[in-house]
Amino acid sequence: MRTASDPAGPLTSSFRDPSGHVFVRDGRVLRQVNRSYAMQFERLLSSGLYDALAAAGLLIPHRELPLESATDVYRVLEPERIPFISYPFEWAFAQLKAAALTTLDVQKRAVDHGMVLKDASAYNIQFRGAAPVLIDTLSFDIWEEGTPWAAYRQFCQHFLGPLALMSRADVRLGALSRVFIDGVPLDLVADLLPFSSKLAPSLLVHVHLHARAQRRHASGTVDRQARRSFTRTAMLGLVEHLERAVQALTYGARGTAWVEYYDQTNYTAAAMAEKERLVEAFVKRAQPATVWDLGANTGMFSRIASAAGAYTVACDGDPAAVERHYLDCRTRHEPRVLPLVVDLANPSGPMGWNHEERQSLLDRGPADLVMALGLVHHLSLTNQVPFDMVAEFFRRAGRALIVEFVPRADSQVAAMLARMPALGPRYTQEAFEQAFATRFETIDTALIAGSERRLYLMQAKGRS
């Protein structure tokens, strides 16, 4: 994880909130609480809110470390480590929905304890496997009853707006969160939603009227005395209303080419079973603690890596496939698989302030093992990426690699080459093996019995 130019300074993603910041020391991720935030922090503990949220799995638990200096540092916390940091624009619909409901649940419990969430950024939610959790322990403020929710606008921009677009317009609009790093502006959400969204009272109020109110009062200020009328019942009513708005948004995860992929592959049941057996054997030989399953589809092979004990990030470019994978993980209470929507031909780059607020996919690695099963022919043919560039990407992504080569004789590849004949001459097994041999050492290889496809277990050269 990268830090700012001062190695003991805050993480490059942790600078907005004056209450404290996150930093890395001796490989441990720590959170500093500033003295100015002491009263709020003490209230979080003394009100019982911290215990209630941690026990419910809604807030990341931490332990306090002894202080080394007595400057403006009030506390140093060591939160439980999140295995892999992911971003809202990489989440499937159901993940963003789960993160939204977690945020609202935290807010409701905070109000019960006389506190309030002072921000509602989707980046404050992370996943431990399938389970969302709030990671920002300093998100709480003491609630002055009568005051509306300061984070209401942020909640609507980070959660409700993108969810409404994905549900009511097109699931691919989730990618807008990658462009608008502080959430999708509500006037844009309102413009992109179909007219029928105005017939849903919750979207009419929290998106359409909200956008109009923002436009009308763009530069105004609110008289502080006038803010006293927002009672506790109104606050709880607001949270419940938002909860119902989020709950009402759904996504069916149907109709893409990939989501039915396993039903349409060239594998016989026996060959598929053989592939699973080989992948399992290769994973066990690699003994990874972390796996990136690239082109994971609905996660058939991610499960094998997880069962072998590896925390597995399962990337796929198809939002419907990732949606199904996540829902399956949630049903199984999967603790070690994180499905993410990632287009490998255009993976998330370094973004935000100074190009370093949000990390690229590769900056969050390398993984101990990369799995690229049924992927290379899509990258090489559909995306026209030459083998040596595919190999280089895999080498940067992981220390070891399980990769599958699908030969020209395979009917799927043959059909692709018929559409893109110019790519034919460079798509050979020899060219594949040659390109990978410059960057990887082949540990083992095996033909998948009952198919024409071949699996390789490789070790990146010059990497321990």
- Binding residues for another protein, rule: CB under 8 A, are 16-19, 37, 39-40, 94, 97-98, 101-102, 105, 116, 118-119, 121, 131-132, 141-144, 147-154, 156, 205, 209-210, 212-222, 226-227, 229-231, 233-234, 236-238, 240-241, 247, 330, 333
End-to-end CA distance of the chain: 19
Residue 152: CB minimum distance to another protein, A = 5
Look at residues 176, 22, 178, 16 and name the one whose alpha carbon lies nearest to residue 86: 178
Residue 141 or 404: which CB sits closer to another protein? Answer: 141
Look at residues 460, 454, 344 and name the one whose alpha carbon lies nearest to residue 404: 454
Residue 65 or 248: which CB sits closer to another protein? Answer: 248
Residue 174: CB minimum distance to another protein, A = 17
Residue 144 or 444: which CB sits closer to another protein? Answer: 144
Residue 26 or 223: which CB sits closer to another protein? Answer: 223
Exposure of 271 in the CB half-sphere (CA atoms within 13 A): 15
Residue 139 or 297: which CB sits closer to another protein? Answer: 139
Rounded to whole angstroms, what are the CA distances from 79 to 28, 102, 125, 134, 344? 9, 18, 14, 11, 31
Tell the residue number behind the tokens 């759904």, with chain if given.
Answer: 250
What would the two tokens of residue 78 be? 């060591």
Residue 95: CB minimum distance to another protein, A = 11
Question: 3-class DSSP state for residue 18?
Answer: coil
Read off φ and ψ for residue 180, nearest 5 degrees: -100, 100
Residue 328: CB minimum distance to another protein, A = 13
* Residue 321 near residue 298, CB atoms below 8 Å: yes
Tell the residue number behind the tokens 């499905």, with chain if given.
Answer: 339
Residue 155: CB minimum distance to another protein, A = 10
Residue 164 or 304: which CB sits closer to another protein? Answer: 164
> What is the 3-state secondary structure of 25-42?
ECCEEEEEEEHHHHHHHH
What would the two tokens of residue 186 be? 């509500």
Residue 235: CB minimum distance to another protein, A = 8
* Residue 299 near residue 258, CB atoms below 8 Å: no
Residue 83 or 148: which CB sits closer to another protein? Answer: 148
Residue 316: CB minimum distance to another protein, A = 22
What would the two tokens of residue 301 be? 């092979």
Residue 125: CB minimum distance to another protein, A = 11
* Residue 104 near residue 111, CB atoms below 8 Å: no
Question: 3-class DSSP state for residue 52?
Answer: helix
Residue 201: CB minimum distance to another protein, A = 10
Rounded to whole angstroms, what are the CA distances from 157 to 141, 249, 355? 21, 15, 22
Residue 231 or 346: which CB sits closer to another protein? Answer: 231
Residue 201 or 349: which CB sits closer to another protein? Answer: 201
